[in-house]
Chains A and B, each alone.
Chain A
Amino acid sequence: MQERKPRFTSLSGLGINRVYTRDDLKDWLPENDLGAPGEFPYTRGVYPTMYRGRLWTMRQFAGFGSADDTNRRFKYLLQHGQNGLSVAFDMPTLMGIDADDSRAHGEVGRCGVAISSLADMDRLFEDIPLDQVTTSMTINGPAAVIFAMYLAVAEKRSMSVERLGGTLQNDILKEYIAQKEWLFPPEPSLRLITDTIAYCAKQVPKWHPVSISGYHIREAGSNAVQELAFTLYDGLTYVEAAVKAGLTVDSFVPQLSFFFNVHNDFFEEIAKFRAARRLWAREMERRYHPKDPRSLQLRCHAQTAGCSLTAQQPMNNVVRTTLQALAAVLGGTQSLHTNSMDETLALPSEEAVKVALRTQQLIAQESEVTNCVDPLGGSYYVEALTNRLEAEALDYFRKLDALGGMVKAIERGYPQREILDASQRYQREVERKERIVVGVSDYQEQESRPIPILKVGPEVEREQVARLSDLRKSRDPFKMTGAVEALQEAASCGENVMPYLIEAVKAKATLGEICAALKEVFGTYREPVVL
């Protein structure tokens, strides 16, 4: 019988056979390529028992308006059974500028929470016991400053930072590649990241100082292969920078974590998680021979693909998200965010975010997929795809090596162009109807039924500007200036800046003031325009 299409391809464009058999796994050896769960090369998962031991962490990314607004949303999510917090910051905070900066006008509290000072951070976590939750903070350029604020809040509450658990995204390479929120040039940015890694290795042992992220690479238009390759290569770049700074691999690599997107191609996504674990284990072993097995284990957070959602027929997004979330679970993620159905329209409403969280609870409690570790292991198709993704990623590794590493490649616009090309290919496939987007390129409806969406009003900006003005009046200007000057001194002579950042935020220097002071030392960056 004739098939529906001349050629079947994965979402990344990999050719897919009609059926897979033993012949597709000729060089595949279960003892080398699969192993047991919790054992090298970790294809089947990083823990022997996986979800039979402990379910993944359900961690919904949230933040909007003022610190008080977001504090209320955090409490709402905790009440409904979420077990980890994840902070979304607004654009001015992500770019290291204060709410009263002219560039922030119109942006304050819009797509995340506005945090300009230690006082804001304190209000964000009011009545939340920092030693009983884990907190993920999605911030990159000014990550070290925001982390210093979090540590200072703990200190103010007389809590030992040794007990703090959580994650700082702090992945600047993918900013240059994809998300485009940087403050400084790549080299000083890498050094700041190394400072946070070194500080956590000594002082905050339960913290993940970097979450090496493919999520944004994928959202910027890459395919699964590029996401896998660029993310793992970024990870190896951070490891090498820290090793060059004198750290031993086993002192910090177990604290690194990863963050992947999970998109529509169900089996390709599952294979991507499996290939990522195997590739990381093999590369770390080959390059550094670590003694601690945790240095070989890729642990990750996953988020369903925001870019796959549609503004048309938004209820369909619940179904898309469910399939993606299931792929992340079958892929063996440690933590998961499920997107809300209204996210192509605005930040999620309370109702929408609850359905998203319930989706995870349904998978965890009703589907029974958690009964067995790596249930698709040994499937001819999934193993062949896992092999293929690993091989394709290694191909990119060789290209990046030839360009002189990731920083050089970024400066030449290489990963940026690869992503843009992939994104254009996908767009064309959709427009030619080679790929169908339900409700958009097919099965359209004229009628649109509006769903309630969250609004952030202009009063958020006015109030935040007023709070900053009060803060500036209330502080000791000499103490503040002294702390910022000491920070600049440490930054220019190569000392670890973390203790100085903590002192500066305690002296009530604002996020914008600290980042401006660091720019004086480190300079700024202009990206090569890739079109």
Chain B
Amino acid sequence: MTVAATPLRVLIGKVGLDGHDRGVKLIARALRDAGMEVIYTGLHQTPEQVASTAIQEDVDAIGLSILSGAHNTLFRRVLELLKEQQAEDIVVFGGGIIPDEDVPTLKAAGVRALFRPGVPMNEIVDFVKGLRS
């Protein structure tokens, strides 16, 4: 087996209006320290901005952080936009304050994984690494 020629490219973003960026920045740093190329969008991104940046930057995955309660609307919108632009191969995962009952519906909509409060950082890093095996 050969080692992948290029590092994984991951877009890490904050969609929606909330500014809680502690978790998202720690994750961006952890993925970067694990050797991935991390594109951090900054705050207050619209789903349109996220989808178009992801496509332009040709990323393998998009990690979204939402702590405002708007996850049902925003995750779905990003997935829709990726589908419209034939970019469903980009894996979407996320984290934030997401109640138990919203998890199955978001996963059914196409969110690959959801990391909620208290998840160890290496679990997230391992998940992203696993996308290429």
Contact = CB atoms under 8 A, between A and B. Distances in A.
A456 B25 contact: no
B26 A106 contact: no
B25 A450 contact: no
A95 B122 contact: no
Interface stretch (B2-10, B56-64, B112-120): B112-120
A529 B18 contact: no
Interface in A487-531: 527, 529-531
Interface string B101-133: 000000000000000111011100000000000
Contact of A220 (B21, B40, B117): B21
Given A92-B17, A181-B19, A311-B117, A345 B97 contact: yes
Given A106-B72, A456-B69, A221 B22 contact: yes
Interface string A68-99: 00000000000000000000000110110100
Contacts of B40: 529, 531
Interface string A431-475: 100000100110000000010010010000000000000000000
Nearest to A310: B118
A91 B70 contact: yes
Contact of A91 (B16, B25, B29, B120): B16
Given A431-B120, A531-B28, A107 B68 contact: yes
Given A527-B42, A531-B29, A107 B22 contact: no
Nearest to B41: A529
Contacts of B118: 310-312, 437, 440
Contacts of A310: 117-118
B100 A180 contact: no
A345 B99 contact: yes
B97 A346 contact: yes
User: Is chain A's binding surface mostly helix, strand, loop or mixed?
Assistant: loop
Contacts of A291: none
Nearest to A109: B69
B74 interface: yes
A420 B26 CA distance: 8
B67 to A, nearest CB: 8
B117 A111 contact: no
Nearest to A91: B17
Interface string A289-333: 000000000000000000100111000000000000000000000
A111 B18 contact: yes
Interface string B19-61: 1111001101100100000101011101000000000000000
Interface of A: 91-92, 94-95, 97, 103-107, 110-111, 175, 179-181, 219-221, 307, 310-312, 344-347, 420, 423-424, 427, 431, 437, 440-441, 450, 453, 456, 527, 529-531
26 contacts: A91-B70, A106-B73, A107-B17, A107-B68, A107-B73, A111-B67, A175-B19, A180-B20, A180-B43, A180-B44, A310-B118, A311-B118, A344-B117, A345-B100, A420-B22, A420-B29, A424-B26, A424-B29, A427-B26, A431-B120, A527-B42, A527-B43, A529-B42, A531-B25, A531-B32, A531-B40
